[in-house]
Structure 1
């Protein structure tokens, strides 16, 4: 799917590049990020799009309604002085599960299973591993903001 991405150039070397993906606003979501360098802009924009799209899907919305193609958002977001079109495939986010083969030591498996049995917020080993991976990836992000407006 094609997303229009706005980039706000930093005023000085101590500021980051601002990133906005306005199409999510029509569903009541804000999608923003920042990049410390020009090289990071595409990665940070794609990451923000994927995270916001995942939230949109989890909230029961159809992401296909966001498929507007090229659109000029400059008048709505005048601080963003550069715009680019970024193709981001969202098919992988749709609600299907995919089996994955991983290798863990027997002691890790026993520890994980014991942890999951005691902590009822996890449905099973796979749920635990998925949530642990999400938590680690989210904690590694320096700047990310994508949330439903009003939250």
Structure 2
């Protein structure tokens, strides 16, 4: 994160033009909260790379997003996810911890951190995250259901 990347400068330029351009908000919020415009643009770009499995490119974008919006739990959650998929487990753990420090009830970070715990063999911590998701989603939610399935699969292996 040394110096400003071209993407970062382009986002800032875009934001300067916002007052003169009619912008329509997306119909659905894809994040745990409404991010500022710059972070939102970068999160959308990173999410596209993540869906393509291009985690190195996602990390480059997310580094810019962390500069623009360092207190955005969604940014740190996606950094954790991307780092985990790059095999950088310590960096992933740090990013999930940061996301959960910023927003303790972040459903995605709880799920993904639980998956990281399983990857490292820490079933007790994964089950702790699953219990927290059960408390937050008593009627069920995607994050709870997915982590529950991962825990079941982990237990079957052992």
Q: Structure 1 length as normaliser, TM-score?
A: 0.29
Report the structure number with the largest CA radius of gyration. 1
Q: Structure 2 length as normaliser, TM-score?
A: 0.29
Q: Per chain length, whose mean CA-contact separation is higher, i.e. which structure has more relative contact order (CA < 8 Å, sep 6+)?
A: 1
Higher strand share: 1
